[in-house]
């Protein structure tokens, strides 16, 4: 346990850190508790965030297919593209706002709380949406509100975690995110026939778990921080980090962008790939099985790679290897389009993705230019994850229209390999 500092001293330390540090420096001590406790609590919070992200893989396509089975691919692309665009814009704005928030509860807590409440309300709207446009609008609000949760939540890593624990923290966070995606798919698949109940369950989890997280892990007061005046050009630069001044940031962003695009092109269409390419009549009956298979790979990849990257003080080799493993996994269903082939792909893909998320998250935290803008810059980096949710469905739709579902795999393989190559020009992180 850390010894709590007097409130005024803690506030001064926090203000000094924000004013002068970058992502490659240790933050001030926690308000109370220990890093180990923070790491334990990040698991359920990350789990719930990821469970919500699993909704468009099961409940949304199922709900859309009930309404208009003949146009399901187009309608799904519409819903995911519009909501992805909202998330894309909201992410950096949420980060910018949280960076500049002055409150006794800190910079991040107010937005995590408010965002979780809006997410819950929008999910209730999803439950009772009666048209594709209703689903589109409701899911748009879910994604925008999630940006105000995820942006501040992701900033906890550079805000509070010392450098020598970031790989471990990122590993636990990665396990939570990957496990949440699997558990979310299982819960959603189990509730497809009662999808309204499913949306209600996710809404309750979003509010309950995230409120407990902020209650048990308080942040430093941010009332004493200095806030620079925000002009119009500063607002425009919310979506920009100069690649010439910060080339490492640029390469880390690029690597994540291309790899996530390839990943989303295949996994984002899993429901329809299983039904129309592999020939499974009820994909929702098999998604939990593939989820369990993937969970084993996720845990192995994340548990091993995160702590090892801390031990060796190296991030790039792990991220490179993970990207290559994901590319190799995508070869399997391309040449072996069966239930077994998809399961093999899922296991290898999960192993690589688990390695990637654990170590790449730590790497990203170390290329951030300034503590003043951790939230904003992480919001920009998160564009590399949210933009593929926008362009991925569109790109997938074009590829499917021209080549059929089989065309998704070679395109995703090339993108994964480009993501591996883009890691090596980074100089400030080994």
> Confidence class of residue 192 from pLDDT cuts 50, 70 and 90?
confident
**Contact criterion met (CB below 8 Å) for 393 and 80:** yes
Report for 18-27, 141-150, 233-242, 300-309: range of highest mean pLDDT: 141-150
Long-range contacts of 394-402 (CB under 8 A, 24+ apart): 394/77, 394/81, 395/261, 395/265, 396/77, 396/264, 396/265, 396/268, 396/269, 397/73, 397/74, 397/77, 399/265, 400/73, 400/269
CA 408, 409, 410, 412 dihedral sign is positive
Residue 332 pLDDT: 94
Dump pLDDT digits (tens) for 65-106.
Answer: 988 888 888 888 888 888 878 887 888 888 888 988 888 898
What are the residues whose beta carbons fall under 8 Å from the beta carbon of 52, sequence distance 6 or more? 119, 123, 142, 146, 184, 202, 205, 206
Residue 1 pLDDT: 46
> Confidence class of residue 46 from pLDDT cuts 50, 70 and 90?
very high
Residue 408 pLDDT: 93
Look-up of token digits 């993705």: 353
Kindly report the CATH class assigned to 14-222+242-421.
mainly alpha
**Span of 111-120, 266-275, 320-329 with lowest mean pLDDT:** 266-275
Residue 235 pLDDT: 58
Q: C-alpha 392: how far from its chain's center?
A: 15
Residue 315 pLDDT: 84
Whole-number Å distance between alpha carbons of 158 and 282: 43
DSSP states of 46-97: HHHHHHHHTHHHHHHHHHHHHH-GGGHHHHHHHHHHHHHHHHHHHHHHHHHH
Kindly report the length of the chain: 430
Mean residue pLDDT of the chain comes to 85
Look-up of token digits 């998160």: 382
**Contact criterion met (CB below 8 Å) for 220 and 160:** no
**Span of 7-11, 169-173, 268-272, 304-308 with lowest mean pLDDT:** 7-11
Residue 6 pLDDT: 58
Look-up of token digits 């190799």: 328
What are the residues whose beta carbons fall under 8 Å from the beta carbon of 54, sequence distance 6 or more? 180, 181, 182, 183, 184, 185, 187, 188
Comparing C-alpha atoms, which of 120, 365, 113, 117 is closest to residue 218? 113
Comparing C-alpha atoms, which of 127, 148, 128, 126 is closest to residue 137? 126
Q: Which tokens sit at 299?
A: 């845990």
Whole-number Å distance between alpha carbons of 279 and 272: 9
Residue 70 pLDDT: 82
Question: Which has the higher per-residue pLDDT, 162 or 380?
Answer: 162
Can you state the percent helix, strand and coil of the chain, rounding each to 5?
80, 0, 20
Dump pLDDT digits (tens) for 345-394.
Answer: 989 998 998 888 778 888 878 888 777 777 788 877 777 777 776 677 77
CA distances from 35 to 49, 154, 159, 379 (A): 21, 15, 12, 24
Dump pLDDT digits (tens) for 280-325.
Answer: 888 878 877 887 787 788 888 888 887 888 888 788 888 998 999 9
> Confidence class of residue 38 from pLDDT cuts 50, 70 and 90?
very high
What's the whole-model pTM score?
Answer: 0.74
Q: Which tokens sit at 74?
A: 């187009």
Phi, psi of 315 (to 5 degrees): -115, -40
Whole-number Å distance between alpha carbons of 213 and 38: 9
Helices and strands in the chain, H and E counts: 17, 0
**Contact criterion met (CB below 8 Å) for 56 and 270:** no
């Amino acid at each position: 346990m850390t010894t709590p500092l007097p409130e005024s001293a803690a506030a001064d330390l926090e203000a000094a850190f924000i004013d002068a540090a970058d992502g490659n420096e240790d933050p001030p001590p926690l308000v109370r508790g220990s890093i180990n406790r923070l790491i334990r609590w990040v698991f359920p919070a990350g789990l719930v965030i990821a469970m919500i992200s699993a909704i468009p893989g099961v409940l949304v396509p199922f709900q859309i297919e009930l309404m208009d089975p003949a146009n399901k691919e187009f309608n799904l692309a519409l819903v995911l593209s519009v909501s992805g665009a909202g998330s894309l814009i909201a992410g950096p704005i949420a980060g910018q706002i949280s960076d500049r928030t002055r409150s006794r509860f800190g910079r991040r807590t107010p937005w995590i709380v408010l965002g979780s409440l809006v997410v819950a309300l929008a999910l209730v709207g999803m439950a009772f949406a009666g048209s594709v446009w209703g689903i589109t609008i409701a899911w748009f609000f879910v994604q925008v509100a999630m940006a105000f949760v995820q942006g501040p939540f992701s900033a906890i890593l550079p805000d509070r975690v010392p450098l020598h624990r970031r790989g471990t923290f990122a590993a636990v966070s990665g396990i939570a995110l990957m496990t949440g995606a699997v558990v979310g798919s299982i819960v959603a698949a189990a509730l497809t026939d009662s999808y309204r109940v499913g949306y209600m369950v996710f809404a309750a989890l979003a509010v309950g778990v995230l409120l407990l997280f902020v209650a048990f892990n308080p942040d430093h007061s941010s009332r004493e921080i200095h806030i620079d005046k925000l002009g119009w050009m500063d607002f425009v630069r919310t979506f920009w980090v100069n690649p010439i001044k910060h080339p490492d940031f640029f390469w880390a962003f690029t690597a994540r962008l291309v790899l996530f695009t390839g990943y989303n092109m295949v996994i984002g269409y899993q429901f329809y790939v299983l039904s129309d390419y592999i020939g499974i009549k009820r994909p929702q009956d098999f998604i939990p099985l593939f989820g369990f298979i993937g969970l084993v790979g996720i845990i192995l990849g994340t548990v091993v790679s995160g702590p090892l990257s801390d031990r060796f003080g190296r991030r790039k080799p792990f991220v490179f290897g993970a990207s290559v493993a994901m590319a190799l996994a995508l070869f399997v269903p391309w040449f072996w389009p069966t239930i077994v082939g998809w399961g093999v792909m899922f296991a290898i893909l999960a192993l690589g993705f688990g390695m990637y998320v654990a170590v790449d998250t730590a790497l990203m935290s170390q290329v951030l230019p300034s503590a003043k803008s951790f939230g904003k810059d992480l919001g920009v980096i998160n564009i590399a994850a949210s933009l593929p949710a926008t362009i991925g469905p569109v790109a997938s739709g074009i590829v499917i229209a021209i080549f059929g579902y089989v065309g998704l795999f070679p395109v995703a393989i090339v993108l994964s390999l480009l993501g591996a190559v883009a890691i090596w020009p980074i100089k400030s992180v080994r």
